[in-house]
Amino acid sequence: DVKVTQSSRYLVKRTGEKVFLECVQDMDHENMFWYRQDPGLGLRLIYFSYDVKMKEKGDIPEGYSVSREKKERFSLILESASTNQTSMYLCASSQEGDRGFDEQFFGPGTRLTVL
Partner 1 sequence: QKEVEQDPGPLSVPEGAIVSLNCTYSNSAFQYFMWYRQYSRKGPELLMYTYSSGNKEDGRFTAQVDKSSKYISLFIRDSQPSDSATYLCAMSAYGQNFVFGPGTRLSVLP
How many CA atoms lie within 13 Å of 64's alpha carbon, on the beta-carbon side? 27
Segment holding 68, helix H or strand E: strand 64-70
Tell me whether residue 67 or residue 95 sits nearer to partner 1 (CB atom).
Answer: 95
Tell me whether residue 3 or residue 14 sits nearer to partner 1 (CB atom).
Answer: 3
Q: Rounded to the nearest 10 degrees, how much is the dihedral formed by the CA atoms of 3, 4, 9, 15?
A: 170
Q: What is the C-alpha separation between 99 and 114, in angstroms, rounded?
A: 40
Residue pair 107/91 in contact (Cβ under 8 Å)? The answer is: yes
Closest distance between partner 1 and the C-beta of residue 106, in Å? 3
Among 46, 92, 112, 114, binds partner 1 (CB under 8 A): 92
Per-residue binding string, partner 1, 18-57, x by CB under 8 A, is -------------x---x---xxxxxxx--x-x-------
Binding site for partner 1 (CB under 8 A): 4, 9, 31, 35, 39-45, 48, 50, 90, 92, 94, 96, 99-104, 106-109
